Amino acid sequence: MKTIKINLVPGDGIGVDVVREGVKALRRLADVHGGIRFEFNELPWSCEYYLKHGEMMPKDGLKILEDCDAILLGAVGFPGVPDAVSAQELLFPIRRGFEQYVNMRPIKLLPGLVSPIKNEKIDFIVVRENSEGEYCSQGSISNDGTPEKMVVQNAVFTQKGTERIMRYAYNYAVEHQYTKVMSATKSNALKYSMVFWDEVQAEVAKDYPQIESRKMHIDALTGYFIMHPDELQVVVASNLFGDILTDLGSAMLGSIGISPSGNINPEGKFPSMFEPIHGSAPDIAGKGIANPMGTLWAVVMMLEQLKLQESAGLLMNAMCEVLKEGLYRTPDIGGTATTSEMADAIIAKVV
Ligand code: IPM
Ligand code: MG
């Protein structure tokens, strides 16, 4: 019997509701598999924890978190604690500290779901840079309290950081038999960062002559997402652009509650972390109506990363079956089911 250790960080709001369902699904998958068991270690790090302890996680948080095979995170952020605190003191330290520099975000319309856009051929992946760029958390405030106040928010694009995300995207394309890579840029306006981003893409693309390389300014690309999603295969984007594009992408699937994301440390030196794309949604927190799909799909990605392809397939198929039948759906996708009812219906199909 192989034991797989999963650290859980449910976090805030609906994060708690959806991680609970993710755990149920993993337990079921272990039963069906027969040769594995999951050991869960739940960490209470959240905005509530911050209000009690004055920090989002203990000083040695990363040391505690590191001891596992993978991390499942719900969502962070809650009224009462500035959003900047929850992101800067929990989410980003994990992503950066564990060198999870790739954030994989599949955008795929699942059977039975109706996209709000006309072109329903939606099946691509966004490879988001996850460790630097616009979210490097550097900047300055000067002349505070005067009319001359000036705030500078830096964006950091290193050769190493930019090249590795580009290479990851191109390699991913090759390994998954894709033929096209689209890079999100804005080199017309951002004359340092995005000009450099384009240069790195052009350089890396030389090593992949079989891949059709394109770049598009982010403003045009948002329109392209809506008009021509069928043309997209692998989209590579900086931290900010990837963040924005994937909320758009998720909404294109019928609900922001559907998409998963994998914060990946490709070298396997640190654990990778899986989470739904959606946030903590304080407005529906505790109502038990959050869509469990984003988390269950994140669990699928986690299983794939743990090389449990068969279990991943079982859960993904179960999700698609329940969507196709249409009997158990949370309100965001047109039903009346609760989070648990929908998740239970899915888990019941894992056999
Ligand atoms: C996401 C979220 C986070 C991000 C927030 C909570 C800081 O929007 O994972 O997409 O921007 O990375
Ligand atoms: Mg986001």
Give residue-wise pLDDT tens across range 123-177: 999 999 999 999 999 999 999 999 999 999 999 999 999 999 999 999 999 999 9
Strands laid side by side in the 36-42 sheet: 36-42, 2-11, 70-75, 272-276, 260-264, 102-108, 123-129, 234-237, 180-185, 212-217
Q: Which pLDDT score is estimated for 102?
A: 98
Ligand 1: which atom is nearest the Cα of residue 95? 12
Q: What is the CA radius of gyration of the chain?
A: 20
What value does the mean pLDDT take over residues 265-292? 96
Residue 147 Cα to ligand 1 midpoint, Å, equals 32
pLDDT tens, residue by residue, 21-61: 999 999 999 999 999 999 999 999 999 999 999 999 999 99
Q: Which pLDDT score is estimated for 311?
A: 98
Q: Which pLDDT band, with edges at 50, 70 and 90, does 350 fall under?
A: very high
Whether 12 is in the pocket of ligand 1, judged by its Cβ within 6 Å, is no
Q: Which pLDDT band, with edges at 50, 70 and 90, does 201 fall under?
A: very high
Q: Alpha-carbon torsion 91, 22, 336, 319, what sign? A: positive
Task: State what percent of residues in the chain have pLDDT above 90.
Answer: 99
Whether 293 is in the pocket of ligand 1, judged by its Cβ within 6 Å, is no
Q: Which pLDDT score is estimated for 77?
A: 95
Token pair of 204 as six digits: 């890396």
SS3 category, 305: helix
Whether 244 is in the pocket of ligand 1, judged by its Cβ within 6 Å, is no
Nearest protein CA to atom 4 of ligand 1, as residue: 243
| Rounded distance between C-alpha atoms, residue 250 and residue 268, angstroms | 27
Nearest protein CA to atom 5 of ligand 1, as residue: 87
Residue 153 Cα to ligand 2 midpoint, Å, equals 18
Nearest protein CA to atom 10 of ligand 1, as residue: 243
Whether 91 is in the pocket of ligand 1, judged by its Cβ within 6 Å, is yes
Nearest protein CA to atom 9 of ligand 1, as residue: 277
Ligand 1: which atom is nearest the Cα of residue 246? 10
pLDDT tens, residue by residue, 229-242: 999 999 999 999 99
pLDDT tens, residue by residue, 71-109: 999 999 999 999 899 999 999 999 999 999 999 999 999
Q: Which pLDDT score is estimated for 345?
A: 98
Which of the ligands is closest to the CA of residue 247? 2
The pTM assigned to this predicted structure is: 0.96
Token pair of 29 as six digits: 């998958």
Task: State what percent of residues in the chain have pLDDT above 70.
Answer: 100
| Rounded distance between C-alpha atoms, residue 15 and residue 24, angstroms | 14
Q: Which pLDDT score is estimated for 238?
A: 98
Pocket residue to mutate for ligand 1, from 107, 243, 275, most atoms within 8 A of Cβ: 243
pLDDT tens, residue by residue, 104-124: 999 999 999 999 999 999 999
